[in-house]
């Protein structure tokens, strides 16, 4: 070995080991695909403009913004602790009102994905 090279697996005396970070709740690929599909349609319609994804120890949050500098107009949350009670997924408005909660992501996202049909008579 040359100067500056060390064996990364070598334990040096007096070294303090930092514990691995606690696991976070995340969205699965299928969940994220479904959310981003809805997001893409809303962006194309000009309703939404930006998003943010946050992963916490107890929940994952997908926030939707009308403009990037504002607070989120909707939050799509996944909270596994609520799976057996009300369901892990929820859609929350900017005012904190829960629009829909459930065990199936597709049904919960239906609160944001309403298509209006004109019926000609």
- What is the per-residue pLDDT across 107-117, written as a single tens digit (0 to 9) for each? 999 998 875 54
Contact 91, 76 (CB under 8 A): yes
51-64 pLDDT tens trace = 999 999 999 999 99
Inform me whether the pLDDT recorded for 18 exceeds 50: no
Percent of the chain with pLDDT over 70: 75
- pTM > 0.75: no
Q: Is 4 exposed, middle or buried (0-12, 13-18, 19+ CB in 10 A)?
A: exposed
């Amino acid at each position: 070995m040359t100067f500056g090279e060390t064996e990364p697996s070598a334990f040096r005396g007096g070294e303090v080991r930092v514990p691995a970070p606690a696991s976070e709740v995340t969205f699965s690929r299928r969940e994220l695909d479904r959310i981003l599909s809805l997001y893409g349609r809303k962006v194309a319609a000009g309703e939404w403009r930006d998003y943010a994804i946050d992963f916490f120890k107890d929940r994952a949050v997908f926030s939707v913004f009308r403009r990037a500098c504002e607070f989120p107009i909707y939050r799509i949350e996944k909270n596994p602790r609520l799976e057996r009670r009300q369901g892990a997924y929820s859609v929350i408005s900017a005012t904190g009102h829960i629009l829909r909660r459930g065990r199936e992501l597709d049904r919960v996202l239906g609160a944001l994905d309403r298509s209006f049909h004109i019926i000609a008579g």
